[in-house]
Amino acid sequence: LMRNHGSPRRYEYAILGTNSRLDSIQAAILDVKLRHLDAWTEGRRRNAKRYDELISALTPGRVLTPFAPDGRFHIFNQYTLRVEGRHQLRAHLASRGIPSEIYYPYPLHLQPAFAGYGYGPGSLPATEKICSEVVSLPIYPELPDDHLQAVVAAIAEFC
């Protein structure tokens, strides 16, 4: 039951548990892959900067991009926007063959694992609003600039 936090289905967690699946073969692969981590991180950061540049030219305030506080930097495992109408945006992107994802569709305080803490819908309105607006775009290190531009062009059509 503790495996994957007792998850009965994707993105729903029943209890606090673990997510630990590293075996010796995976460890050997990870040993090789870690050598590329800095380059992959730099590629994602480069693509995020390009997204930032292109998206900032869109309707101000309509699409909010991720940021890092001063003195910090983001590695952009995901590039997650905030936008009202995120399901409509996802449908628009999909109609153009552009993938997107909602990685965290439910705020933690509404997960079954945290039900005993007394928080329910409406308890954390800012969290719930943000959670209803997030959508992640392709950000892998090798993302070609023309693909990135196509993603932003599709977002511009939506806006």
Residue 45, domain member (yes or no): yes
Q: Return the pLDDT at 23.
A: 81
Residue 52, domain member (yes or no): yes
Long-range contacts of 38-46 (CB under 8 A, 24+ apart): 39/141, 40/141, 41/75, 41/76, 41/141, 42/141, 43/140, 43/141, 43/142, 43/143, 44/75, 44/76, 44/77, 44/79, 44/139, 44/140, 44/141, 45/73, 45/74, 45/75, 45/76
pLDDT tens profile 49-65: 999 999 988 877 889 99
Residue 90, domain member (yes or no): yes
Q: Return the pLDDT at 5.
A: 61
The boundaries of the domain holding residue 64 are: 41-158
User: How does residue 6 score in pLDDT terms, banded at 50, 70 and 90?
Assistant: low
Residue 14, domain member (yes or no): no
Residue 8, domain member (yes or no): no
Residue 50, domain member (yes or no): yes
- Supply the mean pLDDT for the chain: 90
State the CB neighbour count (10 A cutoff) for residue 11. 11
Q: Return the pLDDT at 58.
A: 85
Q: How far is CA 10 from CA 52, 109, 111, 153, in A?
A: 30, 17, 12, 31
CATH number where 86 lies: 3.90.1150.10
**Euclidean distance between CA atoms 134 and 20, whole angstroms:** 27
pLDDT tens profile 93-148: 999 999 999 998 889 999 988 889 999 999 999 999 999 999 999 999 999 999 99
